[in-house]
Amino acid sequence: MREFIYYSSTAPTSGKALDEKNLNKSGRIDIAIHSLIAAFFLSHKIRTDTKVHLFFTGPPSSPKHLELKPVIEGKTGEDKIYFSKQNVARVLKKMLYKYKEGIKNEVFPGFWIEQQTILQYVKGISTDNLYILDPKGEDIRKVNIKPNPIFILGDHLGLPKKELKRLKSFCTPITVGPETYFASQTVVLVNNELDRREIPPH
C-alpha cells in the first residue's frame, strides 16, 4: 500500500460550503480533487494499492479527516460506489454532509470521515516510512523507500509553519525535482517513481 496525506487550510469542512459549480472558489477544493485524481486514476484503471487522507481546516467546522480507499470489487451501489474522475467533487460533498460527531463514519465502502487534525493522525502512525514532500528535501531518486510508504503534501499555500515543524520531527523531507510543482503534479511524480521501483510489489 502507498498512502498520501494531503493538507489544506482552506478546503471546506461542510457539505454546504462545497459548491460543485464553483470549485476553485470553494476553498480551492479543486486542488484536492486534482491530487485525488493523480493519486487514484490511471487510464481505464483505479489504483487499488493506494489510500488518500485529506485533512481540511477551512470553514465552517474544522478540522475534518476524509479517508479514501476506493473499493472496486462487487456490485455498484451495494459493495462499492461509482467513483470516476467526473464525480470526485460530488463524492467529497456527500462525505462532508455525512460527518457524524464522535465517530469515524464510513459514508460509502472505503470512504470515511471524522473530526481529526493531521498532527493527531500522524502521531498515531507507527512507521519510519513517512516522507514529507518538500522542495528542499533529499532527492527522491536517492532515497531508499521501503514498502508501504506514506507521503505528506500541502495545498497551494503549503503546510502551515507549526504543522511543518512538528511533522519534520518524524518525517524524512524529500523532493521530487528542481521546481515547485502543483500538489497534484508531485503526486504524479511520486506514483511514477514508486511504479518504476515496484513499491509495493504489484
For ligand SAM, the binding residues (CB under 6 A) are: 133-135, 153-154, 156-159, 175-177, 179-183, 186
51 alpha-carbon distance from chain centroid? 7
Nearer to ligand SAM by C-beta: 175 or 191? 175
Cβ of 164: how many Cβ atoms within 10 Å?
17
Residue 65's φ and ψ, nearest 5 degrees, are: -115, 115
Amino acid making up residue 181 = Y
Nearer to ligand SAM by C-beta: 103 or 157? 157
Tell the smallest beta-carbon distance from residue 152 to ligand SAM (Å): 7
How far is residue 33's CA from residue 39's CA, in Å, rounded to a whole number?
Answer: 10
Tell the smallest beta-carbon distance from residue 153 to ligand SAM (Å): 4
Tell the smallest beta-carbon distance from residue 61 to ligand SAM (Å): 24
Q: Any alpha helices (H) in 13-106, and if so which ranges?
A: 29-40, 88-97
Cβ of 170: how many Cβ atoms within 10 Å?
13
Nearer to ligand SAM by C-beta: 81 or 187? 187
Tell the smallest beta-carbon distance from residue 176 to ligand SAM (Å): 4
Nearer to ligand SAM by C-beta: 71 or 188? 188
